[in-house]
Amino acid sequence: MSQLQAILWDVDGTLAETERDGHRVAFNRAFEAKGLPWRWDEAHYGELLRVAGGRERLLHDMASRPDAPPLADERTRLARELHMSKNALFGQWLRASGTPLRPGVLPLMQQCREHGIRMGITTTTSRINLQALMQSALGPRWADWFAVVICGEDVQRKKPDPEVYQRALQALDLPPLAVVAIEDSPGGVAAARAADIPVVVTRSHYFAQATIEGAIAIGPGLHQREGWRPALRGTHGPVGLDDLQAWCSEMDSVSQFG
């Protein structure tokens, strides 16, 4: 394992718990504003999260709705309109709610900055959604924290395709084993692993019980040391750079994460 040189962050579910009360509610308000009777409850939205990308999620859902537009171009146009409306509503929700980053995220980010470990964003979410979240969490100069930012608009194929991670590696000019991805979903893990990048999983609301294959470590969050596999030494303090490096060094000998 190379010395750790960069961390690549997923966004929704990983940096912040934005799906259930943020994106889902914004979609429902977009449906209402358009005069549509559709509503995504918590369970159905969890199923839709298997599809990466908001527009793609809308089109997937329309395929099983008898009251959706019958023609493909009409569905595409409606999905585009709904997604734009939903993004605006999501931004309003973020500004009103002040949704924080998940516990443990900011301390690890600050440690990266202090030790010269570069960071990147690798997400399927829209840039406007990312900007709204990061401005709320880190302020107007949030982009200064990251060496590379790749969003859904920047790739042709979304997770679980590895394109977002391949582009990040190219921009950073680093080999995969010098990088760690932090993810929360099976699709995100699959994308990183397909790019040969080691992955640490912080379980989120919607993927708390999901089957995860190929991660070098899985745990409840970066804020605590209990509950991680492989286990962390000590019981106090958040997950730090030394822990990530240790997991990377051990990954070849930990068969269940190979």
Supply the residues annotated as catalytic: 10, 12
Query: 6: closest CA among 145, 202, 133?
Result: 145
Q: What is the C-alpha to C-alpha distance for residues 258 and 96, in angstroms, rounded to an integer?
A: 42
In the DSSP assignment, the letter for residue 40 is -
CA torsion sign, 88 to 93 to 98 to 100?
Answer: negative
Which residues contact residue 12 at a Cβ distance below 8 angstroms, ignoring those fewer than 6 apart?
18, 19, 23, 123, 125, 129
In the DSSP assignment, the letter for residue 257 is G
Helical packing angle, 186-194 and 163-172, nearest 10°:
50
Q: What is the CA radius of gyration of the chain?
A: 18
The answer to whether 159 and 52 have CB atoms below 8 angstroms apart is yes
